[in-house]
């Protein structure tokens, strides 16, 4: 396991992050405490230190398990948790990005985690209501109180994250150093705005669902009409669906895995690890030890340029306006002049 700097900070995180949404079986498809402990130990034995949870995962059980597992060596780990939902959703102020929700959620998380601080505190999702000034000042207060060391934003538009950081920089508050978003061979839409923003602002990208809800493992490439129903049964809250495109991408991954004598999951994770458009740390989450061990084995090899190109091509998306317009050769020539293709631009995204 190698380590990466966490955004515009000196914090070091392992190149794979352990996702713990499956720690606990309250949702009907997670892992028992015993299996969760085995997965945690396997990750640690591989050199992993970056552990991600949230106040709402498995109704709080995930945080309790994680807190117990890291207790004997707390300082070794970069512990990340989140707030926004998962508190008391039946109360008017029991969820959201506002200060009251944050304070309630953080205090409850610290209690479940049995620690007095978290290393990274994520805003779990943009609530579209709370003023960004309130959010950033409240996060800064948590940092100044010593309860939080670094902050990140999950699941928000690029303009929201960039505006929030601009406000924080202008007013001397703590800025976001991490961005957590879905990113994989099946979900490349972040390349339109979010990844260029992350690279420009020096945000580490923690990629959730790097295997596309399990589709990239190839297990749905059976050609049966029951695939989509099976997907919904396996992952009832999944962001992904089984369709012609996702099966085509997964099929190419399966073929490459066969050629390399590796698993499809390992191939998919290495495509992410080798991205050059941002600093990407895949979040690996499993329900069984065998799955996690298979994911960790992606560290044993790399994909060559030809293989990366095959995966890029089969999963390519239309970047849409304005990138599809300003990236055209004619437009570049009009904007930059006849010598546009002879510029050495170190800021190329």
User: Using CB atoms within 10 A of its CB, is residue 17 exposed (0-12), middle (13-18) or buried (19+)?
Assistant: buried
Residue 180 CA to residue 203 CA, distance in Å, equals 10
Write down the catalytic residue from 57, 150, 183, 220: 57
Which uninterrupted H or E stretch holds 24?
none
> How far from each other are the two terminal CA atoms of the chain, in whole angstroms?
27
Residue 164 CA to residue 57 CA, distance in Å, equals 26
Task: Please write down the HEC assignment for all residues of 109-129.
Answer: HHHHHCCCCEEEEEECCCCCC
The residue behind tokens 């945080």 is 63
Among this protein's residues, is 57 annotated catalytic?
yes
Peptide bond into 322 cis (omega under 30): yes
Residue 311 CA to residue 249 CA, distance in Å, equals 8
Catalytic residue ranges: 57
């Amino acid at each position: 396991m190698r380590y990466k700097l966490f955004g515009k900070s000196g914090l070091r995180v392992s190149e794979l992050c352990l996702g713990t949404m499956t720690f606990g079986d309250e949702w009907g498809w997670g892992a028992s405490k015993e299996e969760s402990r085995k997965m945690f130990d396997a990750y640690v034995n591989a050199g992993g230190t970056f552990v991600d949870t949230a106040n709402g995962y498995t109704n709080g059980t995930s945080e309790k398990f994680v807190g117990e597992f890291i207790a004997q060596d707390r300082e070794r780990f970069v512990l990340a948790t989140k707030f926004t939902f998962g508190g008391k959703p039946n109360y008017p102020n029991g969820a959201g990005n506002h200060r009251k929700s944050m304070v309630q959620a953080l205090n409850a998380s610290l209690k479940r985690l049995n620690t007095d601080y978290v290393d990274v505190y994520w805003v779990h999702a943009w609530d579209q209501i709370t003023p960004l000034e309130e959010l950033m000042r409240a996060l800064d207060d948590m940092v100044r109180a010593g309860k939080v060391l670094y902050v990140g934003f999950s699941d928000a538009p690029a303009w929201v994250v960039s505006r929030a950081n601009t406000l924080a920089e202008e007013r001397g508050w703590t800025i976001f150093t991490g961005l957590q978003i879905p990113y994989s061979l099946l979900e490349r839409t972040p390349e339109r705005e979010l990844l260029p923003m992350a690279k420009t602002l020096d945000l580490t990208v923690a990629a959730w669902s790097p295997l596309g809800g399990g589709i990239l493992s190839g297990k749905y490439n059976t050609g049966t009409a029951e695939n989509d129903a099976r997907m919904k049964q396996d992952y009832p809250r999944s962001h992904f669906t089984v369709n012609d495109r996702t099966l085509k991408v997964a099929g190419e991954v399966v073929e490459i895995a066969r050629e390399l004598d590796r698993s499809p999951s390992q191939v998919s994770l290495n495509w992410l690890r080798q991205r050059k458009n941002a600093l990407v740390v895949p979040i690996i989450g499993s329900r069984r030890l065998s799955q996690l061990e298979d994911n960790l084995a992606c560290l044993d090899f790399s994909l060559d340029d030809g293989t990366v190109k095959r995966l890029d091509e089969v999963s390519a998306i239309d970047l849409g306006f304005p990138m599809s317009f300003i990236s055209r050769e004619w437009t570049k020539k009009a904007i930059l002049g006849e010598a546009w293709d002879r510029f050495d631009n170190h800021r190329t995204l």
